[in-house]
Amino acid sequence: MKRTRIYVFGVVLFVGSGLLFVANWADAAKSDRISFASNSEGNFDIYVMDTNGENLRLLTNHPADEKDLTWSPDGRFFAYTSNQDGDFKIYIMDTRTGEHRRLTDRNEREWAPAWSPDGKWVTFVSDGDEEVLLGEWGKFKITSNIYKADINGAHLVQLTDKGTNVGPAWSPDSQQIAFVSYHRGDERKG
Protein backbone atom coordinates (compact mmCIF):
# COMPACT_ATOMS: atom_id res chain seq x y z
CA MET A 1 0.00 0.00 0.00
CA LYS A 2 1.43 3.36 -1.05
CA ARG A 3 1.43 6.04 1.66
CA THR A 4 1.09 9.68 0.78
CA ARG A 5 2.41 12.37 3.07
CA ILE A 6 1.19 15.94 2.71
CA TYR A 7 3.49 18.85 3.48
CA VAL A 8 2.14 22.35 3.95
CA PHE A 9 4.75 25.06 4.44
CA GLY A 10 2.52 27.96 5.32
CA VAL A 11 -1.01 29.24 5.12
CA VAL A 12 -2.09 32.83 5.61
CA LEU A 13 -5.59 33.46 6.91
CA PHE A 14 -7.31 36.72 7.70
CA VAL A 15 -9.20 36.16 10.93
CA GLY A 16 -11.32 38.89 12.48
CA SER A 17 -9.07 41.87 13.07
CA GLY A 18 -5.76 40.06 12.68
CA LEU A 19 -3.54 38.03 10.45
CA LEU A 20 -2.87 34.39 11.19
CA PHE A 21 0.14 32.70 9.61
CA VAL A 22 0.21 28.94 10.09
CA ALA A 23 3.90 28.29 9.79
CA ASN A 24 4.36 24.75 10.96
CA TRP A 25 2.03 22.18 9.53
CA ALA A 26 5.21 20.72 8.13
CA ASP A 27 4.48 17.03 8.62
CA ALA A 28 0.84 16.67 9.59
CA ALA A 29 1.11 12.87 9.56
CA LYS A 30 3.52 12.94 12.55
CA SER A 31 2.15 15.90 14.46
CA ASP A 32 -0.89 16.42 16.63
CA ARG A 33 -0.40 20.18 16.83
CA ILE A 34 -0.36 23.27 14.66
CA SER A 35 1.91 26.16 15.49
CA PHE A 36 1.38 29.62 14.08
CA ALA A 37 2.05 33.32 14.49
CA SER A 38 -0.88 35.69 14.85
CA ASN A 39 -1.16 39.44 15.30
CA SER A 40 -4.75 39.28 16.54
CA GLU A 41 -3.65 40.94 19.82
CA GLY A 42 -1.57 43.66 18.11
CA ASN A 43 1.93 42.29 17.66
CA PHE A 44 2.81 38.86 16.27
CA ASP A 45 2.99 36.14 18.92
CA ILE A 46 3.48 32.39 18.55
CA TYR A 47 0.72 29.96 19.48
CA VAL A 48 0.24 26.22 19.37
CA MET A 49 -3.00 24.24 19.34
CA ASP A 50 -4.21 20.73 18.65
CA THR A 51 -5.05 19.90 15.03
CA ASN A 52 -8.72 19.75 16.04
CA GLY A 53 -8.57 23.45 17.05
CA GLU A 54 -8.61 22.83 20.81
CA ASN A 55 -6.08 23.61 23.56
CA LEU A 56 -4.82 26.95 22.21
CA ARG A 57 -1.63 28.02 24.06
CA LEU A 58 0.38 31.22 23.80
CA LEU A 59 4.11 30.40 23.61
CA THR A 60 5.58 33.90 23.29
CA ASN A 61 4.29 37.03 24.96
CA HIS A 62 6.53 39.99 24.25
CA PRO A 63 5.66 43.49 23.01
CA ALA A 64 7.84 42.80 19.94
CA ASP A 65 6.94 40.53 17.01
CA GLU A 66 7.73 36.82 17.15
CA LYS A 67 7.25 34.71 14.02
CA ASP A 68 9.03 32.52 11.45
CA LEU A 69 9.05 29.49 13.74
CA THR A 70 10.36 25.99 13.22
CA TRP A 71 10.32 23.03 15.62
CA SER A 72 13.31 20.89 16.52
CA PRO A 73 12.93 17.29 15.30
CA ASP A 74 12.31 16.02 18.85
CA GLY A 75 9.71 18.74 19.54
CA ARG A 76 11.48 20.03 22.66
CA PHE A 77 12.67 23.33 21.18
CA PHE A 78 11.53 25.76 18.57
CA ALA A 79 13.48 28.47 16.82
CA TYR A 80 11.82 31.72 15.80
CA THR A 81 12.61 35.30 14.83
CA SER A 82 11.89 38.27 17.07
CA ASN A 83 12.62 41.98 16.83
CA GLN A 84 12.72 42.51 20.61
CA ASP A 85 16.33 43.76 20.31
CA GLY A 86 15.62 46.05 17.34
CA ASP A 87 16.35 44.04 14.19
CA PHE A 88 15.03 40.51 13.82
CA LYS A 89 17.23 37.86 15.48
CA ILE A 90 16.94 34.11 15.95
CA TYR A 91 15.71 32.90 19.35
CA ILE A 92 15.30 29.40 20.77
CA MET A 93 12.59 28.38 23.23
CA ASP A 94 12.90 25.28 25.41
CA THR A 95 9.32 24.03 25.79
CA ARG A 96 10.19 22.09 28.97
CA THR A 97 11.56 25.08 30.88
CA GLY A 98 9.87 27.95 29.03
CA GLU A 99 13.30 29.62 28.61
CA HIS A 100 13.74 31.93 25.60
CA ARG A 101 17.27 32.89 24.51
CA ARG A 102 19.02 34.43 21.54
CA LEU A 103 20.88 31.94 19.40
CA THR A 104 23.84 34.23 18.57
CA ASP A 105 25.17 37.61 19.63
CA ARG A 106 25.52 38.93 16.07
CA ASN A 107 24.40 42.48 15.25
CA GLU A 108 23.02 41.80 11.76
CA ARG A 109 19.39 40.93 11.02
CA GLU A 110 18.67 37.16 11.04
CA TRP A 111 15.72 35.19 9.68
CA ALA A 112 14.52 31.85 8.22
CA PRO A 113 15.72 29.41 10.90
CA ALA A 114 15.84 25.73 9.89
CA TRP A 115 16.72 22.77 12.15
CA SER A 116 19.04 20.02 11.01
CA PRO A 117 17.24 16.64 11.03
CA ASP A 118 19.59 15.40 13.78
CA GLY A 119 18.55 18.40 15.93
CA LYS A 120 22.13 19.59 16.54
CA TRP A 121 22.23 22.67 14.27
CA VAL A 122 20.09 25.61 13.22
CA THR A 123 20.75 27.35 9.90
CA PHE A 124 19.56 30.87 9.23
CA VAL A 125 19.92 33.71 6.76
CA SER A 126 21.53 37.00 7.73
CA ASP A 127 22.23 40.34 6.07
CA GLY A 128 25.52 40.71 4.26
CA ASP A 129 27.48 43.94 4.06
CA GLU A 130 26.72 45.19 0.53
CA GLU A 131 24.22 48.05 0.48
CA VAL A 132 22.36 49.94 -2.22
CA LEU A 133 20.97 53.44 -1.89
CA LEU A 134 17.32 53.63 -2.97
CA GLY A 135 16.58 57.34 -3.07
CA GLU A 136 14.43 58.65 -0.25
CA TRP A 137 13.99 55.15 1.23
CA GLY A 138 17.61 54.99 2.35
CA LYS A 139 20.12 52.16 2.26
CA PHE A 140 19.12 48.53 1.94
CA LYS A 141 21.21 45.40 2.30
CA ILE A 142 21.34 43.53 -1.00
CA THR A 143 23.41 40.58 0.08
CA SER A 144 22.61 37.82 2.52
CA ASN A 145 24.54 34.85 3.80
CA ILE A 146 23.68 31.52 5.35
CA TYR A 147 25.04 30.55 8.75
CA LYS A 148 24.74 27.53 10.99
CA ALA A 149 25.06 27.42 14.76
CA ASP A 150 24.75 24.63 17.27
CA ILE A 151 21.64 24.95 19.41
CA ASN A 152 23.63 26.70 22.15
CA GLY A 153 24.96 29.26 19.65
CA ALA A 154 28.54 28.38 20.58
CA HIS A 155 29.78 27.15 17.19
CA LEU A 156 28.77 29.72 14.59
CA VAL A 157 29.85 28.95 11.00
CA GLN A 158 29.32 31.23 8.01
CA LEU A 159 28.51 28.95 5.05
CA THR A 160 28.31 31.47 2.19
CA ASP A 161 30.13 34.72 1.51
CA LYS A 162 29.01 36.49 -1.67
CA GLY A 163 25.75 37.40 -3.33
CA THR A 164 22.27 36.78 -2.03
CA ASN A 165 21.90 33.35 -0.45
CA VAL A 166 18.53 32.23 0.91
CA GLY A 167 16.32 29.21 1.56
CA PRO A 168 18.64 26.83 3.43
CA ALA A 169 17.29 23.27 3.50
CA TRP A 170 19.01 20.32 5.17
CA SER A 171 19.56 16.89 3.64
CA PRO A 172 17.85 14.07 5.58
CA ASP A 173 21.22 12.90 7.00
CA SER A 174 22.14 16.43 8.23
CA GLN A 175 25.34 16.35 6.17
CA GLN A 176 24.48 18.82 3.40
CA ILE A 177 22.57 22.07 3.01
CA ALA A 178 20.91 23.15 -0.22
CA PHE A 179 20.17 26.82 -0.83
CA VAL A 180 19.36 29.33 -3.55
CA SER A 181 22.11 31.75 -4.49
CA TYR A 182 21.94 34.83 -6.69
CA HIS A 183 25.13 36.50 -7.92
CA ARG A 184 24.69 39.70 -9.93
CA GLY A 185 22.45 38.50 -12.75
CA ASP A 186 23.41 34.84 -12.42
CA GLU A 187 20.90 32.63 -10.62
CA ARG A 188 22.14 29.23 -9.54
CA LYS A 189 21.30 26.72 -6.90
CA GLY A 190 23.81 25.91 -4.16
106 assigned to some structural domain: yes
CA distance 67 to 22: 10
Count CA atoms closer than 13 A to 89's CA, side-chain side.
Answer: 18
Q: Give me the amino acid identity at 59.
A: L
Q: What is the pLDDT of residue 65?
A: 92
Q: What is the pLDDT of residue 41?
A: 82
CA distance 71 to 114: 8
76 assigned to some structural domain: yes
Q: Is the predicted pLDDT of residue 45 greater than 50, yes or no?
A: yes
To the nearest whole percent, how much of the chain has pLDDT over 70? 72
30 assigned to some structural domain: no
Q: Is the predicted pLDDT of residue 141 greater than 80, yes or no?
A: no
Q: Which domain holds residue 87?
A: 60-189
**CATH number of residue 145's parent domain:** 2.120.10.30
Q: Is the predicted pLDDT of residue 136 greater than 50, yes or no?
A: yes
